[in-house]
Amino acid sequence: MDLTIGAKARSREYHVTRDEVLDFARKYDPQPFHLDDAVAEAHPIFGRLSASGWHTCAIVMRLTVDSWTRDGERPLGGAGIDQIRWLKPVYPGDTLTAEFEVKDVLPGKPRPDMRIVKIETTTFNQYGEPVMRHLSSVIFAAAGAA
């Protein structure tokens, strides 16, 4: 990914399965609407079994790392998430893609050999609808640094 302000890139697709939705929910987010079809169907927001928002975050992390590896980028680590919004439920059977946009590039302080890149990531389902958006701060080597 080009790490200049305004640069955009897109991830590969990821197909969400029912088994992984249930497995993640059992382990990390055991709310009934992530585990039980009847409860989810009666839920006023979801209407059917849905993935945990944290599961969606984990999927997008995988897509992000795969995209960086594909593009030859090697981040040094994350500095945080400034905001995250779950915009629509993610359901078993959905296919997700993530679009990355560089919003800002800041010098690393007190490390001039590093830079902080602010990246807005929007995750879309197979219908092109945004399902999640977050703004992250990622540490990279400064341009030209080894």
pLDDT value of position 71: 65
pLDDT value of position 130: 98
pLDDT tens digits, one per residue of 33-46: 999 999 999 999 99
* Contact (CB, 8 A) for 97 and 124: yes
CA distance 100 to 23: 28
C-alpha triplet 96, 66, 11: angle, nearest 5°: 40
Is pTM beyond 0.95? Reply is no
pLDDT tens digits, one per residue of 49-106: 999 999 999 999 999 999 887 666 678 889 999 999 999 999 999 999 999 999 999 9
Superfamily of domain 8-141: Hotdog Thioesterase (3.10.129.10)
Nearest to 75 by CA among 119, 112, 10, 110: 119
